[in-house]
Every structure is written in C-alpha cells, then in structure tokens.
Structure 1
Amino acid sequence: MRKIVVRGDGFALAELAKGDQEYLAEHGDRAFDVDRDGRAMPYEAPVHRLAITDETGTELLGRVMWHPVIYGPSYGCVAWNFGRELLPRVRGKGIGTAVLKALVRYLFDTTDVDRIEGSTDVTNVRAQKSLEKAGFTREGVLRGAQLRGGKRRDMISYSLLRTDK
C-alpha cells in the first residue's frame, strides 16, 4: 500500500510504490514525452515525485513531479517547476485541476519557496484551461522549449506566487 501524503476529493497524492513508474510508462500514451538527445545535462536537479491515486491510495491514476529552478544566488530566487501526468482513462474528468490545487497547497505548506511554475505544449488547450482554473497566471510563450518527435515545440508558461493565494 502506498503512503498517502495529501488527500483530495476523489484522489490522493501518495509515495510511489515499486513498479509504479513502469506501470505508468506501459499504460500512458506518451502524448507529450520529450526526446532525449544523448547529451549529458549540465545540471541535475533533484526531482521529487508523487503518485496520483484514488482516495484509498490503491488505484494508480498518474503522477506529479517537481524540481527546483534557480533564477539567482539566493533562496528567494528558487521556484518549483512541476509536471503532471494522468493516465488517458482518467483525463477530462476534472481531476487534473484538483491535483494541481492540492500540489500547490502541499508545496506552499511544506516548503519556503514562493513561486511554483509549469508549462504545457501550445496545442494542449485542456492543460492550459486546467492551469488557469487552478489559479495559475499565463506568462507567455517559451519558444522551442522542448524537443519532441525531432522538432522544437513551443510551450506556454504559467506561474503561481504564494502571494496570489
């Protein structure tokens, strides 16, 4: 059984169990997976992950990930950049927005970071609407920010500040 970290209405955020990453890889549609280009990353940020499950922590529905982004030489210049992945069978049911709200609450309650940011493909209108419903502010276009299918893809950036709540 997974240890539940945050409970929401109809879902929970829980520690990933053995085999969860593999299950998600097998059952996801990889719609927005980025290409690996073989070059080493210049900086490896620690990536934190939680499973998105049903309320009991039993059924795996997806995952959320976040890592620090540093914009300057002090802690006040650190932001959390997050991503989320829902399995195709649970998309379009409003859970993504609820998960974002719960993740924001969790990060602001458990860390001192004042900015949470995320981005989505310019064609992913459903994710854009979800981010806006969760209280995020659209900041602009990140030109060519991801490489997918051998092509550079534009992303739309969003953020939420602690003071926005």
Structure 2
Amino acid sequence: MDLRLRPFQQRDLDMLRRFATEPGLIGLDWSGFRDAEAPARRFAEDGYLSTVDGRDARLVVETPQETSAAGFVSWRVGPVSEHHWEIGIALLPECRGQGIGWRAQAMLCDYLFHHTPAQRIQAGTHPENAAEQKALEKAGFRLEGVIRAVEFRAGQWRDGWLYSRLRDDPSPLAGAG
C-alpha cells in the first residue's frame, strides 16, 4: 500500500473542523463540541508542526486513492521526559479497516526515531478498541499494561491500555508489502 505522511495544507483544515464538530466521527475519543475555527488558527501559527507548550504536532495521512486526507497522526512530548513521545491517530470512518492505521503509526515511529533522539514512543487506547490494539501490535508496539482511571469519557473515569515501541525494536515496515 502506497501511503505517505505530509505536513498539513490549507485544504486539510475541513477534516479537522469535522473532527471538532461531528459527534462520534472520532469514535470513542469524542469529548464534546470544540471550536471549529481553532484548527485554522493553529495552522496559521505553526502548521501543526510544533510540540511547544505541550501541543501535539500532526501530519496528514494520505493515500494515492484519496483526493483529500484520510486522517492524521500526532505526537507530543510524553509525560516522563523529552526523550519519549506519545502518539495518536485519527482516521475518517471510510478509511478505517484497510491497513492504513498500523502503517501510518509505524511510519510515524520510524520518522520520529530518525529525526529525534527519542528512545521510547508510547500510545494509549481504550480496552474496548480491539481494532486499534491490533493496529498498534502490527506497528511494532507491545502492550505494557492497564492505566487505571486515566480518562474521563461519557460521564465516568475509565481505564486505558498502554503500548510502547522502543528505538531498538525492529520496524515492521522493513518486511511490509
């Protein structure tokens, strides 16, 4: 599968507005309505490429079949030190279930390991999100364990699952076809 990560462009902002204003589009991570113009302000400020002040940086996930973005990957400084990242992904519903997610996350890890001194990359997911668990494992991540009461969602505190990939772990893209 031909897939690429690229910086955001003006034309991609509509996708971010959708994630901010369409309930359920982002799946279990929906946390209520957000400012629909915030994506344009952030894009004008740094193009979504800075992690300063705890912000997440983002790259567009693009496939040759899509005329617009399929979604995006993100990273931010992890909670332990500046030498590790926490990543995430959001794909539009029509782009899920096609192997895009695991490849995009593996590509992001390879990018971060190549361009930053990070030793560790971690990702969290919901215990009920079996598709993301499978994607993370295919992307070279290992399950570390349960983080109890880590997220407030749908009116209650919920557990999360923590995965990680270390710099010395092999990239699954070396043998991907």
CA distance in 1, matches of 2:17, 2:130: 23
Distance apart, 1:123 and its partner CA: 0.3
Structure 2 residue 128 is the aligned partner of structure 1 residue 123 = yes
Deviation string for 1:107-134 (max 9, x for gaps)? Answer: 1011111100001001000100111111
Corresponding position of 2:27: 31
**Is 1:10 the equivalent of 2:17?**
no
**Higher RCO (C-alpha under 8 Å, 6+ residues apart):** 1
Partner of 1:141: 146
Q: CA RMSD in A?
A: 2.2
Structure 1: which 4+ aligned runs deviate by more than 4 Å? none
- Higher strand share goes to which structure? 1
User: Do the aligned partners of residues 86 and 148 (structure 1) sit closer, same or farther apart at CA in structure 2, a change above 3 Å counting?
Assistant: same
Normalising by structure 2, we get a TM-score of: 0.74
Contact 2:73 2:88 in 1 (8 A): yes
Is the CA contact (8 Å cut-off) linking 2:26 and 2:90 kept in structure 1? no
> What are the residue-to-residue correspondences of 1:11-160 with 2, within 5 Å?
11-26=3-18, 29-33=25-29, 35=31, 44-55=53-64, 58-71=67-80, 78-160=83-165
Q: State the identity as a percent.
A: 34
Q: What is the TM-score of this pair, normalised by structure 1?
A: 0.79
Task: Specify every segment of 5 or more residues in structure 2 that has no aligned partner in the other structure, as ranges.
Answer: 33-51, 171-177
Aligned residue pairs: how many? Answer: 147
Query: Structure 2 CA distance, aligned partners of 1:65 and 1:23?
Result: 14
- Structure 1 gaps of 5+ residues are 1-8, 37-42
